[in-house]
Chain A
Amino acid sequence: STTSALVDELKRVNAENKKLTEMLTLMCDNYNVLKNQLM
């Protein structure tokens, strides 16, 4: 049960990481768009 709990937690954090990575990519894109507007 400890292992399965760890796996569950790992899954959760991995999913969060994936989401954060996507958001970061998105933010970088948005930043670049804004920067191009200013240039």
Chain B
Amino acid sequence: MDCSSFLDISLDLNTNPFDRNFPDKLPKKEVKVSTSADLERKWLVKDEGDEQSGSELREELNRVNAENKKLKEMLATVCENYYALHSHLEKLQSRQSEQTELPTKKRKQDTDELLGFPIGLGSGKTENSSSNEDHHHHHHQHEQKNQLLSCKRPVVTDSFNKAKVSTVLVPADSSDTSLTVKDGYQWRKYGQKVTRDNPSPRAYFRCSFAPSCPVKKKVQRSAEDPSLLVATYEGTHNHLGPNAFEGDATSQAGSTNTVTLDLVHGGGHRLALEKNERGTMQDVLVKQMASLLTNDSKFTASLAAAISGRLLEQSRT
């Protein structure tokens, strides 16, 4: 299936020298950003009372701060694009899993017919039996059928049904003991326990759509860094979150922000950011980013840090 027809999957960062039409050409390795580490060292050995040093230092600080801001904006844009692509992929996956489930049901029904069992016996329907003998007979048949089916049942090859486990690090106020991670979904807490390896308790949540949605979440304050909450998600939501984007991912991709970054001129980055519906997007971004993560632990960690960056930025402005 040519997915490119549904979704514009270019990152659309409009960054030079990387070609916006070829996100493959985006840096595979760490992006080299000019740092002022040398300058720091330089100023450390200089006389502290030097006024000129101070002003240059402030200039450098301003430059680095501006670069920091640009990086955060770029990261947010990449996250948005990633999110749009991810939700599109999830839609495709759920569609695919629906398609694979249909033949399975058909096969099960065929097996019932083939074995001479009444249709619907295995699908939760109960039959009213006038005598205990009949009931016993059916029960025996049911057991026999289950044994046969368990032998014949094909191995589930649908990788999308496998429980996906992902971990997200979310910054949290150390005074907050609620162990709440706002990720755009609603959760029901069903337990809490203290673990050996961590003084903070671990809270267990189920998706509010349970039992139809199998996703579970564990939240615990990080033992290494108590300012972070570690949220572990098991499974994939089979529904959109309450604050999810409406409509197709295509339309989201069309309304994403355009970032222009000039890495060539002026020795720094010149960024022109055109934002459409910035407020809405940011709001949704913050709420949704944490909820749609891959199994890639590196990504989950980076995304959590991105969220924290966005929150910090918002709190400053």
Contacts and interface: CB of A to CB of B under 8 A. Distances in A.
Interface string B1-17: 00110010101000000
Nearest to B88: A38
B20 interface: no
A3 B48 contact: yes
B68 to A, nearest CB: 5
A11 to B, nearest CB: 6
A37 B89 contact: yes
Query: Which secondary structure characterizes the binding site on chain A?
Result: helix
A19 B306 CA distance: 10
Contacts, number: 129
Query: Which secondary structure characterizes the binding site on chain B?
Result: helix
Given A7-B40, A31-B82, A25 B27 contact: yes
Given A13-B64, A30-B296, A25 B305 contact: no
Interface of B: 3-4, 7, 9, 11, 23-24, 26-31, 33, 35-37, 39-40, 43-44, 46, 48-50, 53-54, 57-58, 60-61, 64-65, 67-68, 71-72, 74-75, 78-79, 81-82, 85-86, 88-89, 92, 294, 296, 298-299, 302-303, 305-306, 309
Interface of A: 1-4, 6-7, 9-11, 13-14, 16-35, 37-39
